[in-house]
Amino acid sequence: METRSDARFTESVQENVKQLKDILPAEDVLVFRFETKDGRRCAAVYADGITDKELLGQLAARPLSSEEAPASLAAAERRILFPESKEAEDAEEAAKEVLAGNPALFIDGIAGALVLGTKKVSLRAVAEPQTAIAVKGPREGFIEDVKTNMSLVRRRLKTPALRFKTVNVGRLSGTAVCIVWLEGTADGEVVRRIENRLAAVDTDGVPDSSYVAKFLAERPLSLFKQAGTTEKPDIFCAKLLEGRAGVLVDGSPIALTLPYMLAEDFQSSQDYFVSPYRATVSRLLRLLAVALSLFLPALYVAAQLFKLQLLPFGLLMTVSGGIQDLPLSPSLEMFFLLVVLEILIEASIRMPKYVALALSVIGALVLGDTAVKAGLVSSPAIIIVALSGISAYTVPDLTGTLSLVRLALLLTAGSIGMYGVILLTALILYYLVTADSYGVPPLAPFAPLVRRDLRDTVYKAGVFSLRERPAALRGKNRTRLRIRQESGAEDPGAKMRGRPASGTETDAGKEEEDG
């Protein structure tokens, strides 16, 4: 809040309204005046558009105007029977509430204001997010209202251990940023660090959670993601259950989760709703696709420029036939095509849907087919760029990073050759193994190796094997699943693991692995 006033309210409605209007002179802050049965003046100051006026009239003005004036704010609160109300003693506090959509009610002869929770925000419906379509599994997505998002989380985690802590970030926007965690499951140190970092932020506004992600990042200038993101409450809750902390930001449908590990972007919600075998194949495919997306254009250029032996003879003939008489060098040709691909992607995101068909025709026919016929680019190069571009979208959350790293690898391959690709890979790996996301290395559980956590990364083990939460997250409560043996029945988990059931497994005695 920019304007500050420590003035306390008096018993005069006129003065109180004037005080509040002095702080909030904007024309959308209105005053609703009415009288009680015995003629005492009342006034409600509210922000137009974000306050439910009908509710204000029905539940506040009507009961007050039909009876004699109450003697105190507490009596007034009892009379109006409003589920959400509280007293505000000074103008600054009341102004904050008015701007949040909760009107301040003044009654002549009573010092102070009664804040009524009649906030009304026009919201879109809870729907499936466009960026995370699931064939199987829940289809709900977060929306722009933090309260709704909190309720979506609460509906899935009905436990007193679920904690919300809301802080306002932004001097002018006053955006509600809510830290969510499961007490006893998440690492308390992570929650404390998130709180501290948010408290240290002094900015004018927070338009989206991506701003908050930057404030929470250990290395804000890093090329790589620093916080997990999701639009789906089921994924968000699953991450909380693993021991992460979450951050919901008012006005953003994208929730953040911390600490972040690179491996989590290779997991899809669907992996948990299909058989572990299918999920494992999908994950390996995603890994392969990311490797193809990153290295294929660079290796093609390096092989063409520096090491033809790498190409099988038949392919070499095809390639050499394709690149004959090309005006561009292999690296320039590939660079040109990758830039075209990025432009097409950028345009397809921003353009109106009704010109999509025209763009597809231009992209596929004019830029693709005609460019080959005109001898500007070769067919193998187009195939490689297309394959690389499509492969990146198997891990949608990493596409931005992948496209930049791909370009860097291509430039290195074109200038230094194969060894440049190897060295850049080494450099990236050195960077990633020593990076840190709230105490957790982003390459965990691979480097440092946490054997137990591999069960839900490269391969997806059956649900009975996922008994512990990821050790890399350092939560206190590691046990995620216990199968209690029914009398006379076998433990299905024991059967799958090939060892006797242990219904009394505890955290104590579990071998500590590093994280």
511 contacts other proteins (rule: CB under 8 A): no
CA nearest 57: which of 48, 65, 69?
Answer: 65
The residue among 60 and 443 lying less far from other proteins, judged by its C-beta, is 443
496 contacts other proteins (rule: CB under 8 A): no
307 contacts other proteins (rule: CB under 8 A): yes
- Please pick, from the candidates 285, 346, 365, 419, the single residue that binds other proteins as defined by CB under 8 A: 419
317 contacts other proteins (rule: CB under 8 A): no
The residue among 123 and 288 lying less far from other proteins, judged by its C-beta, is 288
430 contacts other proteins (rule: CB under 8 A): yes
**Chain centroid offset of residue 167 CA:** 18
**Are residues 121 and 50 in contact, defined by beta-carbon separation less than 8 angstroms?**
yes
Q: How far is the CB of 126 from other proteins (least distance, A)?
A: 41
- Please pick, from the candidates 284, 429, 481, 496, the single residue that binds other proteins as defined by CB under 8 A: 429
- The DSSP output letter for 278 is H
The residue among 284 and 358 lying less far from other proteins, judged by its C-beta, is 284
Q: How far is the CB of 432 from other proteins (least distance, A)?
A: 9
Separation of alpha carbons 50 and 25, rounded Å:
17
- The DSSP output letter for 170 is -
- Please pick, from the candidates 423, 476, 490, 499, the single residue that binds other proteins as defined by CB under 8 A: 423
Helix pair angle (276-306, 399-415), 10° resolution: 30
Count residues contacting other proteins (CB under 8 A)? Answer: 33
Window contacting other proteins (CB under 8 A); options: 15-23, 339-347, 446-454, 460-468: 446-454
**Are residues 417 and 305 in contact, defined by beta-carbon separation less than 8 angstroms?**
yes
Beta-bridge partners for 460: 456
- Please pick, from the candidates 159, 360, 370, 434, the single residue that binds other proteins as defined by CB under 8 A: 434
CB atoms within 10 A of CB 2: 8
- Please pick, from the candidates 319, 446, 455, 493, the single residue that binds other proteins as defined by CB under 8 A: 446
311 contacts other proteins (rule: CB under 8 A): yes
Helices (H), 393-469: 399-415, 418-434
219 contacts other proteins (rule: CB under 8 A): no
- The DSSP output letter for 134 is -
The residue among 311 and 384 lying less far from other proteins, judged by its C-beta, is 311
The residue among 248 and 424 lying less far from other proteins, judged by its C-beta, is 424
Q: How far is the CB of 423 from other proteins (least distance, A)?
A: 5
- The DSSP output letter for 8 is B
- Please pick, from the candidates 30, 310, 344, 463, the single residue that binds other proteins as defined by CB under 8 A: 310
What is the helix, strand, coil percentage profile of the chain, to 5?
50, 10, 40
Q: How far is the CB of 511 from other proteins (least distance, A)?
A: 11
**Are residues 96 and 1 in contact, defined by beta-carbon separation less than 8 angstroms?**
yes
Separation of alpha carbons 321 and 101, rounded Å:
69
The residue among 381 and 443 lying less far from other proteins, judged by its C-beta, is 443
Q: How far is the CB of 399 from other proteins (least distance, A)?
A: 23
- Please pick, from the candidates 359, 447, 481, 496, the single residue that binds other proteins as defined by CB under 8 A: 447
Window contacting other proteins (CB under 8 A); options: 74-82, 334-342, 403-411, 442-450: 442-450
306 contacts other proteins (rule: CB under 8 A): yes
Separation of alpha carbons 428 and 402, rounded Å:
12
CB atoms within 10 A of CB 436: 12
427 contacts other proteins (rule: CB under 8 A): yes
Q: How far is the CB of 283 from other proteins (least distance, A)?
A: 15
509 contacts other proteins (rule: CB under 8 A): no
- With the CA atoms of 107, 68, 81 and 87 taken in that order, what torsion angle do they form, in degrees rounded to the nearest 10? 20
443 contacts other proteins (rule: CB under 8 A): yes
Q: How far is the CB of 239 from other proteins (least distance, A)?
A: 24
The DSSP bridge pattern shows strands 228-230 and 85-88 to be unpaired
Q: Mask 389-418, x = binds other proteins (CB under 8 A)?
A: ---------------------------xxx
* Residue 199: Cβ-neighbour burial (10 angstroms; 0-12, 13-18, 19+): exposed
CA nearest 180: which of 144, 219, 151?
Answer: 151
| Residue positions counted in the chain | 515
425 contacts other proteins (rule: CB under 8 A): yes
For 314, phi and psi rounded to 5 degrees? Answer: -60, -45
Q: How far is the CB of 453 from other proteins (least distance, A)?
A: 13
Window contacting other proteins (CB under 8 A); options: 46-54, 61-69, 314-322, 486-494: 314-322
Beta-bridge partners for 248: 178
Beta-bridge partners for 456: 460
Helices (H), 243-306: 276-306
In the complex, the residues that contact other proteins under the rule CB under 8 A are 306-316, 416-420, 422-423, 425-427, 429-431, 433-434, 441, 443, 446-449, 514
